[in-house]
Amino acid sequence: MNGDSPSSAGIRVRLFGRTDVGQIREHNEDNFLVADLTRRSRSLMESDRVQSVAERGTVLGVCDGMGGAAAGEVASQLAVDIIYEKLSQGDPPTSHDDLARRLVNAVEEAGGRIFGEARADRTRRGMGTTATIAALLDSRLFVAQVGDSRAYVLRGDKFVQVSRDQSLVNQLIEAGQLTEEEAETFEHNNIILQALGTAETVQVDLTYVDLRHGDTLLVCSDGLSGMVRADEMREVLLSHRDPFDACKELVDRANRAGGHDNITVIVAVFEGALSPPGPQDVLAYQKYALPEAPAEATVRAPSVHAPEVYTPPASQEAQRESRRLRVGHTMVGMTNPMASTPASGTPTAPRVSNAPPTFGFEDDPVSIPTSGLPPSMVGTLVLVAMCLVAIAGFLLLR
C-alpha cells in the first residue's frame, strides 16, 4: 500500500492530552499538539475529543523543551505551532509517501526556525526541544522522532514502544554496554543526542504502524516514561479505556513517583473502519523508507542576476598595495596559496569563518623586489660583512 492513495473513510479517534509541571520544576517547558488538520482545529473541548479522520488527517505530538529561563517553553511552543502550520498548508496529501514527506519536512522546518530564533536572541541561546509527532490519513500511522519523548502502541495486551530514543543511554543499551536495569540508575540518562533547535539540521527518525481496531496510542515526554515503568503504563491503558481518564491516571502516577520533570501525555484510541487484530500482524519499531521527492515536485526559484556595477580601474599604487597585503596575509596567516584551488573535479573545502583569505593561480603574480645579484655573490658579501664586524669588535675591545 506504500505510496497508494489512502482512504480515511470511517476511521474514528477518541483522544485526550494533558500536561503537568510535576513536583520539582518551577515552570512547564512541555507542549503538546492534538489537531484535526481537515477542520484546522486544535481544541480539546469535549465535542472535539472524538475525531473522524478526513482527507487532511490527524496529528498528535509531544515536545519537551530545554534551555532554562523559559527558553525551553519557547522552543516547544514554536515546535508545535510550526509543525501544525506546515501540515495545514497546501492541498491534502495524496499518498502515504506524501504525508510522510510532509511530516518530516515540518519537523525539519521547526528545527531550523528554532535554531534561528536561538541565534537571534542571546537569552535563548542553547534552547531546544524534543519532538515525537504522529500523523495518519488512514490505517497507517507515521511517527517522526527527534530526541527521547516516546510513542507506544497497545494492541490487546501487547504494549510496544514504536519510537526509538535518540539518547546516550539508549545507545549504550543497544551496544550491549548497559542493561535495562542499569539504565534506570545511570547517571547520564538525561543526555539526548539530538533536539530541534540545537543545530541547524536534524536527522528525523521516521517509523510507522499499520493500525488495527482498538489500538491505543500513547505519546509522552520522559516526565512520564522516566517515572512510570512500561508495564504500569500498560496496566493503566487496559483499565482506563477512556483517554481522559487514562491521561489523568498516568499523570497522577508520575507525580506520586516523584514528579521530577514536567509530565505530558496524549492517549488516542482508534476505532471505526479498521481491520481487527490478526495473528500475522506486526507491532514493532519499523522504520519507513521514504523515497526521494520526484524531480517535478521540486520548484526551483528563478535565477536572480545582480546588476553589473562599473568599477573604475585601480591606480598602480593601489594595485601595489593590494599585492603587498596578499603577501602579508599569506605569510602571517600561514595559508597555503594553493589551498583554494582544487584539482579538476574536486570540490573546494568548506570555508572556515574568520580565516585569512586564500588565493589561487588566477590571481595576479606577486613580484618581490630583489637586488638582482646571484645568490652566491649575496652570500659572499654577507660573510665578508660579518667578518669585518667581528674584526672591528675585536679591535675595540683591546
Mean pLDDT by runs of 10 across the 398 residues of the chain is 58 97 95 96 92 95 85 96 97 96 98 94 91 96 97 97 92 86 76 92 96 98 96 98 98 97 98 94 94 56 39 46 36 35 38 37 43 64 78 74
Residue 45 is assigned to a structural domain of this protein = yes
Using CA atoms, how far apart are residues 124 and 126, in angstroms rounded to an integer? 6
Residue 74 is assigned to a structural domain of this protein = yes
Predicted local distance difference test score (pLDDT) of residue 167: 87
Residue 385 is assigned to a structural domain of this protein = no
Predicted local distance difference test score (pLDDT) of residue 284: 97
The pTM (predicted TM-score) of the whole model is 0.72
Residue 328 is assigned to a structural domain of this protein = no
Residue 256 is assigned to a structural domain of this protein = yes
Taking Cα atoms as reference points, which of 250, 60, 62 lies closest to residue 147?
A: 62
Predicted local distance difference test score (pLDDT) of residue 319: 46
Q: Domain tally for the chain?
A: 1
Predicted local distance difference test score (pLDDT) of residue 373: 60
Predicted local distance difference test score (pLDDT) of residue 388: 82
Q: Which domain holds residue 128?
A: 11-291
Q: Indicate the length of the chain as a whole number.
A: 398
Query: Cα-Cα-Cα-Cα dihedral of 333, 334, 337, 339, to 10°?
Result: -100
Residue 154 is assigned to a structural domain of this protein = yes
**Straight-line distance from the first to the last Cα atom of the chain, in angstroms, rounded to the nearest whole number:** 105
Residue 68 is assigned to a structural domain of this protein = yes
Predicted local distance difference test score (pLDDT) of residue 199: 92
Q: Judging by beta carbons within 10 Å of its beta carbon (0-12, 13-18, 19+), is residue 194 exposed, middle or buried?
A: buried
Using CA atoms, how far apart are residues 87 and 90, in angstroms rounded to an integer? 8
Predicted local distance difference test score (pLDDT) of residue 69: 59
Q: 215: domain CATH number?
A: 3.60.40.10
Residue 375 is assigned to a structural domain of this protein = no
